[in-house]
Amino acid sequence: MSGFSKPLQVVWRVTKTFVPLAIGMGLLVLVIAWLGGAFEERIAPGTPTVRRTPLSNQTTDIVHEVTKEYIEEAIGTLKAASRTVISAKVLATIVEITVSAGDQVNEEDVLIRLNRQDVEARLKQVEQALIAATATRKEAETSHERIKRLSEKNVVSQSELDTAARYLEVSRAEELRAEQAVNEAAVMLSYTTIKAPKAGRIVDRLAEPGDTSRPGEPILVLYDASSLRLEAPVLEQLAVKLKRGDRLKVYIDALDREVTSTIDEIVPQADAPSRSFLVKASIPKSDNLFEGMFGRLRIPAGKRRHLCLATDAIHQMGQLEFVDVVTDDGHVERRFIQTGRIGMPGRIEVLSGLKAGERVVVKAAAKSDAAADEGHSNG
């Protein structure tokens, strides 16, 4: 008995291990087959029958093929070509700023006054130094002339004459240096009154009275409103076709207005990440246009042909769009379409689902509206 017990134990262990595994694999195959539709009735191949109805006295419209100019838009910002940062040239306390942001100024208008006491004191000092240098120069000239006459009579030596001549040259140099110091102090005094270098609009005020102005530090920002232009990155395939002097339309969203611009600069270097060129187009001066506003540069990108359909023929079901198409045998069948951009009022572009020349049924509501309009016009 013990001789047969060992084979039986081996068989039992194998059965206990592999039979559940085989059953699980079989169930898995059945589930996959069920999910794949193996136990459902399959639809035989063929063309499905489209439900069609006879055409009655319904109004129809024809799908037209039209050619339209295609426009690309480049988004940009209005910036001033002429922009000036006004700063002081001397270190001084700001006494007065006569303008604020938004003010319109003319050329030579006084914008800023600085404390001028230190500069005036310096000017008085150098003016007094100039008076002393002039007196010394006159004295040296008189002394030189006297010694020169005595030298001609051999009363004084040549060395004394040379000393007098040298003293005269030194006194003249000192007088010239004093004159230059006076001119420099006068110029520094003029820097305490800052005027507008040109006409324009103040767009930023960066300091207040009591602040200390430092050379080169901005105090006001001025721009010329007549130099506004739209700066927009344009795709390289469009930018290479543009040139200076081209006239393009610019749409300003904030004003809901379109203006005509002239391209005056195309930066001759493409931006690698966006593959675009920076195009700058000047626009006409307007009191309603300001720096930083949003604009669209409209660039003609060629012409294209597309199908045009009456919007009154379109039915919608959720996000799906369909029309009722009249077949050659006078029946109406429903067909899904895909539309594009709105064209002229009452017409829309058709991307797929229709062919040029096909007739579509216009909705009844549109028909009654058209009849009412006709009755009003007849009345």
Q: At what angle do helices 117-152 and 158-190 cross, to 10 degrees?
A: 160
Strand partners, 299: 72
Q: Give me the pLDDT at residue 110, please.
A: 93
What whole-number distance in Å separates Cα of residue 142 and Cα of residue 148? Answer: 10
What whole-number distance in Å separates Cα of residue 15 and Cα of residue 10? Answer: 9
User: Which own/partner pairs from 112-117 qualify as long-range (CB within 8 Å, at least 24 positions apart)?
Assistant: 112/86, 112/88, 112/193, 112/194, 112/213, 112/219, 112/220, 113/192, 113/193, 113/194, 114/88, 114/90, 114/191, 114/192, 114/193, 114/194, 114/213, 115/192, 116/92, 116/189, 116/192
Contact 281, 263 (CB under 8 A): yes
Q: Which of 91, 80, 105, 81 is nearest to 217 (CA)?
A: 91
Name the CATH architecture for the domain at 74-81+226-303.
Beta Barrel (2.40)
Size (the chain), residues: 379
Domain 116-191 in CATH 1.10.287:
yes
- Signed CA dihedral, 193, 199, 202, 206: sign only: negative
Per-residue pLDDT of the chain (379 residues; tens, 9 = 90+): 455 566 777 777 777 777 788 888 888 888 888 887 777 777 677 666 666 777 778 888 888 888 877 788 999 999 988 888 999 998 999 999 999 988 889 999 999 999 999 889 999 999 999 999 999 989 888 888 888 888 888 877 888 888 888 988 999 999 999 999 999 999 999 999 999 988 888 888 999 999 999 998 999 999 888 888 999 999 998 998 899 999 999 999 999 899 999 999 999 888 888 899 999 999 988 888 888 899 999 998 887 787 888 888 898 888 889 898 988 888 888 888 998 877 777 888 888 888 888 989 998 644 444 443 433 333 3
What whole-number distance in Å separates Cα of residue 240 and Cα of residue 303? Answer: 18
Ordered strands of the 212-213 beta sheet:
193-195, 110-114, 92-97, 212-213
What whole-number distance in Å separates Cα of residue 291 and Cα of residue 223? Answer: 9
Which CATH number fits the domain 52-66+305-378, given the four candidates 3.40.50.2000, 2.40.420.20, 1.10.3720.10, 3.30.1510.10?
2.40.420.20
Helices (H), the chain: 2-35, 117-152, 158-190, 236-239, 364-378
Q: Give me the pLDDT at residue 224, please.
A: 84
Residue corresponding to tokens 């206990």: 16
CA angle 155, 170, 159 (to 5 degrees): 25
Query: What's the DSSP call for residue 286?
Result: -
Rg (CA), the chain: 46
For the beta carbon of residue 150, count every other beta carbon within 10 angstroms. Answer: 15
For the beta carbon of residue 92, count every other beta carbon within 10 angstroms. Answer: 21
- Signed CA dihedral, 144, 146, 152, 157: sign only: negative
What whole-number distance in Å separates Cα of residue 274 and Cα of residue 237? Answer: 12
Domain 83-113+196-223 in CATH 1.10.3720.10:
no
Q: Which of 236, 243, 288, 284 is nearest to 261 (CA)?
A: 284
Q: Counting beta carbons within 10 angstroms of the beta carbon of residue 42, is it exposed (0 to 12), middle (13 to 18) or buried (19 or more)? A: exposed
The answer to whether the pTM exceeds 0.85 is no
What whole-number distance in Å separates Cα of residue 107 and Cα of residue 111? Answer: 10
Element (H, E) at 322: strand 320-326
